[in-house]
Chain A
């Protein structure tokens, strides 16, 4: 079996776990964590393609580093929002956060 495929399968599984978490979790923090999973699945893909593609080009690795950075920023912003929500309504259950509509 092609080692790249193994990486891709793991990455797809990881991504699916993330999607599932985003769709099913009611806790906002858990949703944020699921998003991290999805980002890391993408990172795994990037590094795998970088490793098994042209090893002399480091674009994949560099891109992964960028994604990590963005993810960190995103997590900081997301957690700040969650904190604010919590301060206002004393919980972070996304089922009850539906006021952003007509």
Chain B
């Protein structure tokens, strides 16, 4: 039986296929056969990804069902820097398990789809190599056990994203887009890295087991058999309620802003659509851009347990900022999507907007402090965001793959040059319709459920954000209806040939798979349709895991603040001194049984299980009773209601789902969606709205329209206030470099050279002169003195004799 212990193999398999591609190409090139592998090797990549997908499903099933949410944790010591020990390993908690399912499924689908999409491209093997590298990194990211390991995967994903956006690097636009994506996300990554270093400085660990999982023995999760939930880990206790934690959270959030394309760093994502469409589906819609959401969710305790920050006299909680930025991003991107005509760009702005929604969800969860100092915990936001991440990955991946199929079949990306695709590309159209309805929030489809949960969270947190988000939902329905109506209904408008003559599809000649000018659009090959259908199925039903009355998803993936936290704000500091209680209490039952769930999995009792819903006003003494025991006796999944009646998420008693609220919000959001759909459908049927025609708009309206068409001029603004000054600084620096720095260096060189010439002369004449002179003197002396040596024995004897006489003469007078 495949169980969680196969986790390390999941990211390894795509990495193996990447290595095979690289090695294979190297070997071929070494043998002199040219580095280009044959197209068939793509099947290796898809097959390995398929195995990886199956393993991911098995592991996720094991963690979520068999182990009832008990995390898998395996790590070994890797780096020891001073007192900081970093362990390398793997962790699969319920949230990771969900991400595994999402990432592996979409990655596998996209690889399969690419078999058809990229066929015939001269760089086909390279494409699969990059895709495998990306999949490996993303899978490694979700099973990482430390922030550092997550960061590695994060950066490898950035690299893979860069390589894939710039896959058609002979196109200048693709090249520029790749560069832009890399540089812009790097801005966020810098903040992330600083935040991580600060966190290590403060806590001495990056291990999730120590930071965010409430367990007794941070490291050895799988051996303790505990059901760990995301909460403040033991290493955070000293920092709880401090602004330091808030700043760290904001820095880490900076990384998420870059990766998940939040305002103001969202500008790279629309340009990233220059990459091949499967890449857009996998990386820039379903997985990588959601990694920022995952990061914030992973580090959620750091965001939640921080004290409010004050900047420029404005006090805010870090999560509030997250929500606000998310709302702004969601509305702005939806507004921009109104006027775009490139099908992929519309979807890209939709992605930005939906990522904004996820951040609204995250930001509207967590703890808020009332004016009486009582902390109130809003439970639903966290799981709503992760839920929306999952459903969005499915339907947005589907929509992108559908758009790829459309581009493949029509040879254009401009929706105005499409039209009537419903008749020509039936399968694509049906699946696209499902994705569109799911995104717009039509009732039983996935997007409806997750979006409603986010709206609920916003309702609990802040009515203004709620109404904003509701407006965003309506806008979403509108621009998607516009896209659908223009591209799929009506008459075929002739594609690229109609507008510009057949000029190889405006630089996207790669889509034009050699079949002359596009006549009528045609349906895509089966290898592309099968993933479409599969994802359409998921987009339709994925929402049912998080129904309001039976929120299996929310019970698995949730955040619970550590006990003691929800007391009046003033009391927390004392509490922070103790070890968070559940961490100690949790050892008691089942403690040392390795790899066995602490709680036998009771049969799930639908309907009446208490739910992590809504705001819970907490009494000031939450440490008594249920709060102590939540990690032990509360099986994470829906265990029978009585068993954990007082369990953690409702420490002060039951909180039933407010079904009235759920109904109201459901109705409101359906109303908003319907309004958007009706407006879009009536406006764009027969293409009545045509704001681009001269004279169609008054100057006032025209300005409003231009704002959307030109993406709020953000690219231009960045160019003006960031890039141009940067160029100026660079040029100035270059001039300074050449004139002053180089001058100094060269001057120093010249002086040195002059000095050494002098030194050489001194050496030759003075030093060598002295040495030679002393030698010469000795020589001359020797020449003179050797005359004394005659070789005549009698001379010597005579000298001796005279010497003796002299000695005697010297001695005689002294007598």
- Residues on A lying within 8 angstroms of B by beta carbon are 19, 22-23, 31, 94-95, 97-102
Contact = CB atoms under 8 A, between A and B. Distances in A.
Contacts of A31: 794
A101 B795 CA distance: 12
Contacts of B793: 94, 97
A22 B789 CA distance: 19
A76 B798 CA distance: 24
Q: Which residue, of A23, A100, A102, has the highest number of chain B Cβ atoms within 10 A?
A: A102
Interface string B784-815: 00100111111001100100000000000000
Contacts of A98: 790-792
Interface of B: 786, 789-794, 797-798, 801
A94 B790 CA distance: 12
Q: Which 9 A-B pairs have the closest CB atoms?
A: A101-B791, A98-B791, A101-B789, A102-B786, A100-B791, A98-B792, A102-B789, A23-B798, A22-B797
B794 A94 contact: yes
Nearest to B796: A100
Contacts of A95: 792
A95 B794 CA distance: 8
A99 B801 contact: no
Contacts of A94: 792-794
A100 B801 CA distance: 20
24 contacts: A19-B801, A22-B794, A22-B797, A23-B794, A23-B797, A23-B798, A23-B801, A94-B792, A94-B794, A95-B792, A97-B791, A97-B792, A97-B793, A98-B790, A98-B791, A98-B792, A99-B791, A100-B791, A101-B786, A101-B789, A101-B790, A101-B791, A102-B786, A102-B789
A23 B789 CA distance: 17
Given A23-B801, A97-B792, A100-B791, 18 more contacts: A19-B801, A22-B794, A22-B797, A23-B794, A23-B797, A23-B798, A31-B794, A94-B792, A94-B793, A97-B791, A97-B793, A98-B790, A98-B791, A98-B792, A99-B791, A101-B786, A101-B789, A101-B791
Contacts, number: 26
B179 to A, nearest CB: 85
A98 B787 CA distance: 12
A82 to B, nearest CB: 12
A28 to B, nearest CB: 9
A71 B809 CA distance: 29
B808 to A, nearest CB: 12
A22 to B, nearest CB: 6
Nearest to A19: B801
A95 B801 CA distance: 18
Contacts of A102: 786, 789
B585 to A, nearest CB: 106
A100 B797 CA distance: 14
Contacts of A22: 794, 797
A31 to B, nearest CB: 8
A23 B791 CA distance: 15
Contacts of A100: 791
Contacts of B792: 94-95, 97-98
A70 B15 CA distance: 102
Nearest to B786: A102
B796 to A, nearest CB: 10
A70 to B, nearest CB: 19
B792 to A, nearest CB: 5
Q: Which residue, of B790, B792, B794, has the highest number of chain A Cβ atoms within 10 A?
A: B794
Nearest to B789: A101
Contacts of B798: 23
A40 B202 CA distance: 108
A101 B801 CA distance: 20
